[in-house]
Structure 1
Amino acid sequence: MITAEMRELHRSITTLRHHIVGLRAHYGDTDAVRRMANDLDRLEIDLHDFEHSPPKPIKVKAKEQVVYVPDSKSDEAAWLGAQDEGLGFHSRERTK
């Protein structure tokens, strides 16, 4: 099945091929031009293979729920007596 994306890829390949022909006419058959033409040929082959044997589509997960965290100051009483492990100080009672 050819999708709109695949049709657009075919158009892009045709456009790129036109520009590579222009480069070849202007700079000759240099290594860089040959590599670009080879890359484009490979892209065309891959697109052909993809069209004739597409992989299974991935399942799109439902949008994850966003949790709003307010910018307002939190209740510091909730942290009294908490350990400061990993913050570089020893266990101590929290103060306000």
Structure 2
Amino acid sequence: MTTEQVAGVDVLVHGLRRYVESLQVSAGDSVAVRRLMNDIDRLELDLGDLSLPQDAVLPQSTVGSGAEVIRVPDAAVGDPGQWHGVDDEGIGGHRRHHA
């Protein structure tokens, strides 16, 4: 997208904001109007991202990219009894059942 294209869309989004703000005055602060305002906020944020140079994009996550994994042996946690009933870290709080 060129700078002119981003600027053109920016002008349209600002015009849309003015129309929705006038709608908010006449129709009241309804859920639908608030959603429209949120959508306009998102459009403005995305346009701001398009205005950034390509090398300014945030780096991708290092998860799964060969990052070093450091394993901690069970012996390093001390008395395993102190951890009875505690959730393991991770998504869903998986409980490990010991026999």
TM-score by length of 1: 0.52
Q: Deviations over 1:31-57 (max 9, x none)?
A: 0000000000001001101211448xx
TM-score by length of 2: 0.51
Q: How does 1:3-18 map to 2 (within 5 A)?
A: 3-18=3-18
Q: How does 1:1-96 map to 2 (within 5 A)?
A: 3-54=3-54
| Superposition deviation, residue 4 in structure 1 | 1.1
User: Structure 1 residues 30, 11: closer, same or farther in 2, change over 3 A?
Assistant: same
Unaligned runs of 5+ in 2: 56-99
1 CA distance for matches of 2:24 and 2:12?
A: 18
2 CA distance for matches of 1:3 and 1:24?
A: 31
Unaligned runs of 5+ in 1: 56-96
| Superposition deviation, residue 3 in structure 1 | 1.3
2 CA distance for matches of 1:18 and 1:25?
A: 11
C-alpha RMSD over aligned residues? 2.1
Structure ID, larger Rg: 1
Q: Which runs of 4+ in 1 moved over 3 A?
A: none
Paired residues, number: 55
* Identity score, percent: 36
1 CA distance for matches of 2:46 and 2:53?
A: 10
